[in-house]
């Protein structure tokens, strides 16, 4: 069945509700369509972008103001960095799903796209949102807190892997929360226990990157982050349809 669809000429447009299971490229294309829709919606109101960016900058200023020029240890610096990233993420990452419920567009989306594509699109959206957040906050944090990074490759990879894991877990929890009644408060409550192993690895790995120039210093943390992100991605894909479809 798969082989038969593969040999079709690529120019024929397959209908969105075709019964054949879509291949990986097709799935990615559909996810990209959902992602594009979300970006368009987001730029109409800029709610998530504003919430996340302002929250991050406010927290960063508060932390920097409180700490001032005092030389704080690298443990505290790496913890503060991840606390800022975690809570900024919590303030905006649930938007992708909650907006669909609030605008009553969820049913239309359910008809228009397969569950896998919806999850993929929302995950992409959250990934881009987090990447944008970090592109602003991390340089500011490094500058304002006078961060001395010894191993840049490790620092950047821990940041990237940590954000990927954060985006995956936040996306599936957002999907759960958007179907419940108390959406705002529940998101952080449900996310924290699930995200804790990731935060431990990310904080530990960032600290290793501040202290040592060698990549191997944080190898264990990188392994923890990779396994966390991989496992959570697979589990999320498997359970998403139970959340999304009634």
- Binding-site ranges for another protein (CB under 8 A): 172-173, 176, 179-182, 186, 189-190, 192-198, 200-201, 204, 220-221, 224, 227-228, 231-232, 235-236, 239, 242-243, 246
- The dihedral over CA atoms of 114, 119, 124, 126, expressed in degrees to the nearest 10, equals 140
Q: Minimum CB separation from another protein for residue 51, in Å?
A: 22
Q: Minimum CB separation from another protein for residue 6, in Å?
A: 31
Nearer residue to another protein within complex by CB, 86 or 141:
86
Q: Minimum CB separation from another protein for residue 7, in Å?
A: 35
Cα angle for residues 220, 224, 227 (degrees, 5° grid): 135
Determine contact, residues 34/122, Cβ cutoff 8 Å.
yes
Nearer residue to another protein within complex by CB, 160 or 194:
194
Nearer residue to another protein within complex by CB, 11 or 181:
181
Q: Minimum CB separation from another protein for residue 135, in Å?
A: 27
Nearer residue to another protein within complex by CB, 93 or 145:
93
Matching residue, tokens 């109409």 = 44
């Amino acid at each position: 069945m798969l082989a038969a669809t593969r040999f079709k000429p690529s120019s024929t447009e397959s209908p969105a509700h075709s019964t054949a299971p879509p291949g990986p490229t097709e799935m990615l294309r559909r996810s990209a369509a959902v992602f594009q829709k979300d970006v368009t919606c987001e730029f109409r109101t800029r709610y998530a972008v504003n919430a996340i960016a302002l929250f991050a900058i406010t927290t960063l200023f508060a932390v920097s103001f409180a700490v001032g020029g005092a030389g704080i240890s690298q443990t505290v610096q790496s913890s503060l960095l991840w606390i800022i990233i975690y809570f900024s993420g919590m303030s905006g990452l649930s938007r992708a799903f909650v907006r669909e419920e609030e605008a009553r567009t969820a049913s239309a989306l359910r008809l228009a796209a397969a569950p896998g594509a919806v999850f993929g699109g929302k995950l992409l959206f959250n990934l881009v949102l987090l990447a944008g957040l970090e592109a602003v906050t991390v340089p500011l944090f490094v500058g304002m807190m006078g961060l001395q990074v010894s191993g840049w490759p490790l620092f950047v990879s821990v940041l990237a892997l940590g954000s990927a894991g954060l985006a995956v877990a936040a996306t599936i929890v957002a999907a759960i929360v958007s179907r419940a009644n108390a959406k705002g408060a529940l998101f952080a409550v449900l996310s924290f226990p699930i995200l804790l192993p990731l935060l431990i690895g990310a904080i530990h790995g960032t600290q290793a990157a501040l202290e040592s120039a060698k990549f191997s210093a944080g190898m264990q943390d990188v392994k923890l982050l990779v396994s966390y992100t991989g496992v959570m991605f697979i589990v999320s894909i498997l359970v998403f349809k139970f959340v999304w479809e009634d």
